[in-house]
Structure 1
Amino acid sequence: MHSPSSEPVLHLVPEKGTSYFRHALRDLAEGLKFAKLGCTLGWLDIKLRYRGSILGPFWLTASTTVMISAMGVLYAYLMNMDVHKYLPFLTFSLILWGFIGGTLQEGCTTFTSAAGLIHSARMPYSMHVLRSTVRNWLTVAHNIPVIVGVFLWFHVEPLWSWTLLPALLLWVFDSFVATFLLAILGARFRDVPPIVASGIQIFFFITPILWTPDLMKEGQDWLLLNPFFPLMEILRTPLLGDTVQVAVWPAALGWSAFLASVTFVLFARMRARLAYWV
């Protein structure tokens, strides 16, 4: 038999100082090691969500097509705009906004919906965020045929600029960070999902989605205070064949840096408590 002095002793040392940030960085690094697992789980979520359905996720493609066809003609008439220019704009805007709304709403329940896995297995929290991010990107990918069809029908020639790749990477980065932030807040406060849902509805009307930025002849610079506007412009404008304004990119990068900073600090401080909240 072993003497009591030979038994291993577990020393619990509270986090303090910069240890919060070291552990947060370690979680992000370990999340990269589980990237393949996160992508696989995100793919399985899509398959299980539409299991037993005939069209599967392409029901989203069909419903998007019908909605854009009806709204495009109606709003082009109401705003006295050329349907050949307005419908491609509306198509791309609604699909991008659908992705934003889905990302924000599912981000609120990222950790709470994975509570069983969090409690039963020791995995980095960033892996669960990656899972949700991959799932949302796979969902929006089913609307690509709608964009291609509208662009071909109305002969839209995208402006293939070198900024398209950085814009797409920024979208991926922001979707991951926004999901991370709302996952933390949603785990701590159960009021976050309805608050986010209400905020999405408000920003839907004050962001150029149903209406074009050109309608604001004066005060277009105020749109840069809307965090969603520069993010949409860096991807939407070149694909619609126009040139991005000079001030849009600094605004998009500034909002992204602010979002990343707040998320990292909050995660570093709250990481040790997340398992008790979900």
Structure 2
Amino acid sequence: MTILDAAANSRTFKRAWGDLIAGFGKRELWLHLGWQDIKQRYRRSVLGPFWITIATGTTAVAMGGLYSVLFKLELSEHLPYVTLGLIVWNLINASILEGADVFIANEGLIKQLPTPLSVHVYRLVWRQMILFAHNIIIFVIIAIIFPKPWQWTDLTFIPALALIALNCVWVALCFGILATRYRDIGPLLASLVQLLFFMTPIIWNESTLRSQGAGDWARIVELNPLLHYLDIVRAPLLGAEQELRHWVVVVSLTIIGWIFAALAMRQYRARVPYWV
């Protein structure tokens, strides 16, 4: 078999799908590595990853309190809204920015350890889910202080969170491959994500825009896909009415995103070890 034949055989959807399946099958490896990332990052720290929880909680209380006064909103409603927005945003933000760096950061393992490429992505998403679990404690405390009536339909946040995790995988795969080939993608994404933070209803809400007479901006915000990802998790946890359109958009983007991820894995998976 020639080198060209070998390269052609590696660019198949079967190989790409096989990498994803084989990588998921190595759960013990990426679960252990993800947990070790947390421990190593906060080595010799007394509070460990709870420092992130404290920082997120402080930011949520400060922004929730300030903007509830500026927008003349009830603190009992706006503080949980902002808190959940920041917690879910941190998960999405890290998946995009750290996802772009996922293969570059694991250069040594990729070159020395013969494992499926997807292992490093699963490790990243697992690590972020651990941090999400730490941060959600903030919302639990706020929910106790400002209790809301709960319904069984509120449990839809569980499949919503699973859907976001599934999206985090394809996002990290696509941006990871792209940023490994073109190193300017990382800084570009950092600037874009920062802009999206202010364009996403995290510290403000759509009703505030409309009440201020900014209805045109509210329609523009609808084009921001992150709005829909936030709402499918935040709405049920706040006991708010859930809108079908958010689920339709997220499911549609999930399908489209995985199609791009499959194409990227098929075409460029074998080249990543050379690019890093």
Scaled by the length of structure 1, the TM-score of the pair is: 0.91
**1:75-112 C-alpha deviation (Å, 9 max, x unpaired):** 11111111111001011001111121122111111111
User: Aligned in 2, Cα 1:40/1:116: closer, same or farther, shift over 3 Å?
Assistant: same
Deviations 1:33-82 (A, max 9, x none): 21221111000110000001111111111112222222211111111111
Q: 1:221 to 1:170 in 2, by over 3 A?
A: farther
Whether the aligned pair in 1 keeps the contact of 2:157 and 2:234 (CA below 8 Å) is: no
- Structure 1 residues 105, 49: closer, same or farther in 2, change over 3 A? same
Alignment map for 1:1-278 (pairs within 5 Å)? 11-12=2-3, 13-16=5-8, 19-161=11-153, 163-217=156-210, 218=215, 222-278=220-276
Judged with a 3 Å threshold, the aligned counterparts in structure 2 of structure 1 residues 157 and 176 are, in CA distance, closer, same or farther, namely farther
TM-score, normalised by the number of residues in structure 2:
0.91
Q: Answer whether contact 1:60 1:143 (CA < 8 A) is retained.
A: yes
Report the CA distance shift for 1:41/1:166 in structure 2 as closer, same or farther (over 3 A): same
Which has the higher mean CA deviation after the structures are superposed, 54-63 or 219-228?
219-228
Deviations 1:234-266 (A, max 9, x none): 111011011111211111111111111111111
Partner Cα distance (1:253, 1:72) in 2: 30
How big is the shift at 1:222?
Answer: 4.7
Alpha-carbon separation, structure 2, partners of 1:257 and 1:99: 20
2: distance between equivalents of 1:148 and 1:70? 17
> Which sections of structure 2, spanning at least 5 residues, go unmatched?
none
The whole-number CA distance in structure 1 between the counterparts of 2:150 and 2:250 is 21
Contact 1:160 1:238 survives alignment (8 Å) = no
Q: 1-side partners of 2:167 and 2:131: how far apart? A: 17
Q: Is the 8 A contact 1:159 1:240 kept in 2?
A: no
**CA apart distance, 1:19:** 4.7
- Number of aligned pairs? 269
Q: What is aligned with 1:5?
A: none
> What is the CA–CA distance in structure 2 between the aligned matches of 1:159 and 1:55, rounded to whole Å?
34
Q: Which has the higher helix share?
A: 2
Preserved contact between residue 57 and residue 138 of structure 2 (Cα < 8 Å): yes
Q: For the aligned residues, what is the CA RMSD?
A: 1.8
Unaligned runs of 5+ in 1: 1-9
SS at match of 1:163: helix
Does the CA contact (< 8 Å) of 2:30 and 2:120 recur in 1?
yes
CA contact (8 A) 1:157 1:240 kept: no
> CA offsets, 1:188-235, max 9 Å, x none?
111111111111111111111111122244465654421111111111
Q: Distance in 2 between matches of 1:127 and 1:273?
A: 16
Do 1:38 and 1:128's aligned partners in 2 also have CA atoms closer than 8 Å? yes
CA shift for structure 1 position 17:
8.1
The percent of aligned pairs where both chains have the same amino acid is 34
Q: For the residues of structure 2 that align with 1:155 and 1:100, how far apart are their CA atoms?
A: 27
Q: Which residue of 2 aligns with 1:3?
A: none
Separation of aligned partners in 2, 1:15 and 1:255: 30
Q: In the alignment, residue 27 of structure 1 is paired with which amino acid? A: D
CA contact (8 A) 2:11 2:267 kept: no
> Which runs of structure 1 show a deviation greater than 3 angstroms over 4 or more consecutive aligned residues?
14-19, 157-160, 216-224
Structure with higher Rg: it is 1
C-alpha distance in 1 between matches for 2:8 and 2:89: 40
- 2:122 and 2:92 map into 1 onto residues whose CA distance is 16
- Residue deviations 1:10-48 (CA, integer Å, cap 9, x gap): 654244489521210111121122122111100011000
